[in-house]
Chain A
Amino acid sequence: MYDFYLAVAESDLEAFGIPFAEMVERRMNMKPCVTLRDIVPGTAKYETMAETLETRCNGKVVFVLSKNFNNSEECQFLVQFAKTLDPYAKQQKLIPLVIDKNVKLPRVLEGLVCINYNAALRENWLGRRLWEAVHGGTDRHARHRRRTLSSPYS
């Protein structure tokens, strides 16, 4: 079982995909499924990817949005397929992770809140944002460090 599927273009795999996956496993305690590493090559590649995504990754995908994303056939397929699992963006199944500036979001991901990789890394929010995105973010109240102001009547 994986925590999420990492949809990364082949040309970004070596430079970003693999190191990122390793960092997530080591530092954030989550297990991503990376295509070339974890999917057994053979015929019916797309079917295997779709099945793995739906059954073994809980339908969660992190899309690595770079300049190369739109040129990758695999990623285009994954984006279209994953959208059918969460068409109204209610279950946080599709998580865009933007690593380059001025990247145009594919139409299917328009209007979604993205994680800006560079900004999050700089401000040290990356681990927390990714964790919340993958695990549903429902423990937001639990991790309140400071009490908010309350009314004098409560």
Chain B
Amino acid sequence: MQFFFSQSLQERFFEYDIFPSYDSSDQDWVTQYLMSELEDRQELRLCIHPRDFVPGLFVVDNIQAAVERSRKLMVLFTKNFAKSQWCMYELRLFIMEVQERGEELIVVFLEDIPAEDTTSEMEAASAVYPCYKWPDGARARKKFWKALYKAAIKGTDRDRSVLDKVLKKLFK
């Protein structure tokens, strides 16, 4: 088995664990579900723009700073996301950053988006990176959070998958 470690990412300090990009009209979902699950229950640190962006500075400067300071980048695809200029800008920036880092973008679909409303960048992102669809029902949602959490902690000190693989091999 081969293990690839990008030294610079592993040793870098990140102020935020995840920077989610979403349209402001989806803020309620973010507050009710994303923040309560990932911040309160799982104790991750999210960069939420109405709370954590610095007022009085340019939005673009804030976005750039947040991208540099976040370990993982996430996008929440909805019909509103597809129509928002800022969201498209953030998506492009995220794709570039994630390619540079050699990591994966976390793509979350909050609803089904018809093909005519999807932009080409969204289509490309959902084709290349693993997508997580927000389901109905408590059990499905539990699975959803488990999968999302696993993606969010990949490569950090909470990620046991590498350790588990090594242990399995040692004690086969």
Contact = CB atoms under 8 A, between A and B. Distances in A.
B171 interface: no
Contact of B54 (A93, A94, A116, A133): A133
Contact of B58 (A95, A112, A141, A144): A112
A114 B58 contact: no
A81 B56 CA distance: 15
B53 A113 contact: yes
B157 A151 contact: yes
B10 interface: yes
Greatest chain A CB density within 10 A among B12, B45, B56, B60 is at: B56
Contacts of B117: none
Interface residues of A, number: 33
A123 B45 contact: no
A149 B5 CA distance: 17
Contact of A113 (B9, B44, B54): B54
Contacts of A115: 55
Interface string A114-154: 11100110010100010011000100110010101111111
Contacts of B16: 148
Nearest to A141: B15
Contact of A123 (B11, B31, B53): B31
Nearest to A93: B56
Given A89-B61, A120-B50, A141-B15, A152 B156 contact: yes
User: Shortest 7 CB-CB distances between A and B: which pairs?
Assistant: A92-B56, A149-B156, A151-B10, A133-B55, A95-B56, A152-B157, A113-B53
B68 interface: no
Given A119-B50, A120-B50, A154-B10, A148 B55 contact: no
A119 B15 CA distance: 24
Interface in B1-48: 5, 9-17, 27, 31, 43-45
B157 A132 contact: no
